[in-house]
Amino acid sequence: RSTVGDVELWEIKNTSGMDHPFHIHGGQFQIVERELHGNKTPPSFIGWKDTVNIANKEIVRVKMRQSFAGLRMYHCHILEHEDAGMMGTLQVS
């Protein structure tokens, strides 16, 4: 659940053995930092995104703001992974 107008810090962890492109519908985010094997790096480009690749064992922290109410879907942008359940929903009110 999220509230319209709130700015949230999301931590997206990839604990699998391969990269996953994370995507959210109806919202955008800015990357705050990436962490891989304990090494933290700032984003190479500051801009609004709706998809970010998360490498094997990487943690990506993003600032997310929802501008309007509704149901959002987020998922891995590899269709086979989405079909296998790597997805969820976010209720914004």
Among 58, 63, 86, residue whose Cα is nearest residue 73: 86
Q: What local confidence, expressed as pLDDT, does residue 70 receive? A: 95
- pLDDT reported for residue 27: 87
SS3 80: helix
The DSSP symbol for 82 reads: H
Q: How far apart are CA 53 and CA 28, in angstroms?
A: 14
Please choose, from the candidates 83, 26, 81, 84, the residue with its C-alpha nearest in 3D space to the C-alpha of residue 51.
26
pLDDT tens-place string over residues 73-86? 999 888 787 777 78
Q: Which residue type occupies 28?
A: Q
State the pLDDT at residue 81: 74
What pLDDT, in 10s, does the model give residues 16-74? Answer: 889 999 999 988 999 999 999 999 999 988 899 999 999 999 999 999 998 999 999 99
